[in-house]
Amino acid sequence: MNNTILSSEFQDYLKSIEHEDFKKIVLKKSPFESISSAEIAQQLKGLQVSKYKFPTLYKTKNIFFPPSINLEQASSEATANYKSSIIEGKTLIDLTAGFGIDTMAFAKRFSKVYHIEKNKELSEIVKNNTSILTPNVDVYSNSFQDFFEQHSELKFDVIYLDPARRNSGGRKFILEDLEPNILEWIPTFFEKSDKIMIKLSPLLDISLTLEQIIHISEIHIVALKNEVKDFLILLDKNNTLKNPIIKAINLESNQTNFQFNFFDEIDAIASYGSVSKYIYEPNVSILKTGAFKLVSEKLNLTKLHQNTHLYTSSEIMNEFPGKIYEVEHEIRNPKKEITKMKANMLVKNFNQSIDSIKKKFKIIDGGDTTLIFTQSMNGFHILKTSRIY
């Protein structure tokens, strides 16, 4: 870690070039004798990324930014703050802490937080940043296995980890691919804490996860602006039921959270029917939970088809957690009515792919109209709609 980067002279310079292209900076001669062009570009990219991904870092002086890969792998500040809001206690250990965005969020709610990271350079960077923002963080540069051996007496209110995936090939994502292998380590973790929170890949299946891991008390599917970011499982040593609370959250939206217990979806009874005045598309966090029947039952909406995850009603439900479309009319003669139309497209359980439809009718992306291609219990439909929410 080059501490010259923290000098007021360089920090002022960094702010002065904030809007320049960091890729071009690499090709220019550095105006600093002890700071390379590559280092300037790294800090500039970090500053630019932080403006939207880690706004607290962006607003704070003397923050040291890591290489690009660590910026990309780090949680956003919004998702980190959400993680910290669903657990509590006095002490927490982050076993795979990386750039420390989650760690710093936890440190705002816990008295003592341990940041464990094998990458020594990254640990030095985190040590600098936490000394400014969250001095109650203890940074340890080594593996969590070594930390446990050297501090065997320590217990924690919560253990948190975000395991890496060992296999980068095309094989289906499985829990056994994680590093560390949580299936092997969970018993050891429970010797250190009664509560564990693990961030998993959104690609994992919830049912399969419940089959492989016991003691799961809660599952949180967290989206940010309708893009799934986190699949969080909360383990409680005292919980042996396989009926966890499941929460679907869409951060930075006005949508309400959708919550249920795992068996609720199994027991739910959906109502099915054809298209009415309004069409509802659940946000991605709800779709990931698989609560397709429950959306119909809990929100009193009609599901178009068993395999169509769109819903309908004659009266608008403004608080629906997702997108709402008002049906203007059903397209009866698509060749005449929609050829070369400028419109957005939503294709759900239709007998043609979106690419083939666009090509067939020469549809141009954009505009205020949304064409919905879907299937109800009464057959296939092409709907001309306008987006309300």
Q: Using one digit for the tens of pLDDT, what is the confidence trace for 173-184?
A: 788 889 999 999
Same domain, yes or no: 316 and 331: yes
User: CA gyration radius for the chain?
Assistant: 25
Cα gap 273→32, rounded to integer Å:
69
> Is residue 10 assigned to a domain?
yes
Same domain, yes or no: 61 and 78: no
Q: How many domains does the chain have?
A: 3
Per-residue pLDDT, 345: 97
Same domain, yes or no: 278 and 352: yes
| E strand residue ranges, the chain | 91-94, 112-116, 137-140, 158-161, 164-165, 178-179, 195-200, 216-224, 228-236, 245-251, 258-261, 271-272, 278-282, 302-305, 308-313, 322-330, 344-348, 369-376, 379-387
Same domain, yes or no: 220 and 77: yes
Q: CA 91, 97, 98 angle in degrees (round to 5)?
A: 155
Same domain, yes or no: 292 and 338: yes
The low-confidence residues of the chain, meaning pLDDT below 50, are none
Same domain, yes or no: 242 and 373: no
Same domain, yes or no: 205 and 89: yes
Handedness of CA 312, 317, 322, 328 (dihedral sign): positive
Same domain, yes or no: 271 and 196: no
Per-residue pLDDT, 167: 57
Same domain, yes or no: 31 and 93: no
**SS3 (DSSP) at 236:** strand
Per-residue pLDDT, 174: 82
Per-residue pLDDT, 169: 55
Structure letter (DSSP) for residue 175: G
Dig out the tokens for 173 from the structure.
């994502």
Q: Give rounded-to-5 percent helix, strand, coil for the chain.
A: 35, 25, 40
Per-residue pLDDT, 6: 95
Cα gap 321→287, rounded to integer Å:
11
One-letter identity of residue 222: V
Q: How far apart are the first and last CA of the chain?
A: 47
> Is residue 47 assigned to a domain?
yes
- Which residue range forms the structural domain that includes residue 15? 3-65
One-letter identity of residue 340: K
Same domain, yes or no: 55 and 87: no
Strands 178-179 and 369-376: unpaired
Cα gap 284→226, rounded to integer Å:
6
- Among left, alpha and beta (phi > 0; psi -120 to 50; other), residue 100 is left
> Is residue 214 assigned to a domain?
yes
